[in-house]
Amino acid sequence: MKKRTESFTLGPETLLFIYNSDSNRLPGLKDYTAGTPAAFRTENCALSAVTHSPVGMKKEWKRFIRDLAIPSRFLNRNEFFSEFGQCLTTFPVVLLQKEKELEILVSAEELSRCRTLEDFVSLLEQQIRNIAGGFQLAGQS
C-alpha cells in the first residue's frame, strides 16, 4: 500500500483525552490558593504530567493537537461520566470516539510509561497510524 504524506482524516472520529481529575470549583480554588493551576494537578494524572507545565498546557502539545487533523476534545473524568456514563477503564486515557462507540487508543498503563511529551507524542502517532491503515501524519515522511 502506498503511503500518503498529506494530512488525513479518519471520518467522524474524535480523539478524547480524559484526565484523571474531576472539574469542580472547590479543588480548583484549593489549587489556586496553593499557587498551583488547576490544570496541573499531576499527582494521579500522567496525561497532565506530560502535557502541562506549572503555567499551563505546553506549547509543543498545543501545536501537535492543532496540526493533528483529527478533532480532539479534553475532558475531566466527571465530564466524561456525565456525557458517556460509567465505563470499565482507568484514567487517564485517550479514547477514539467513532459515533457512539469508544475505543481505547492509549491506556492509563501506556500513559504511565511516558516520561516526556515526546514519548507520549510518539506513542500517540503510532496508535493513530495503526487505526489509519498506515497513513502518515501531516508533515511526516
Q: What is the pLDDT of residues 20-67, one digit of tens each?
A: 998 874 444 444 434 444 444 445 799 999 999 999 999 999 999 999
pLDDT tens-digit profile of 3-23?
223 333 445 789 999 999 988
H or E element, residue 15: strand 13-19
Residue with cell 480532539: 72
Residue 122, CB-side half-sphere exposure with 13 Å CA sphere:
7
The mean pLDDT value for 104-118 works out to 95
pLDDT at 1 over 50: no
Strand 101-106 to strand 93-98: parallel, antiparallel, or no bridges (unpaired)? antiparallel
Q: What is the pLDDT of residue 33?
A: 39
pLDDT above 70 covers what percent of the chain? 71
Distance from C-alpha of 120 to C-alpha of 15, rounded to nearest angstrom: 14
Beta bridge partners, 97, equal 14, 102
Query: What pLDDT band is residue 96 in, cutting at 50, 70 and 90?
Result: very high
Residue 113 pLDDT > 60, yes or no?
Answer: yes
How many whole angstroms separate alpha carbon 98 and alpha carbon 101? 5
* Residue 122 in this model has a pLDDT that exceeds 50: yes
- Structure confidence at residue 43 (pLDDT): 58
The per-residue pLDDT for 11 is 54
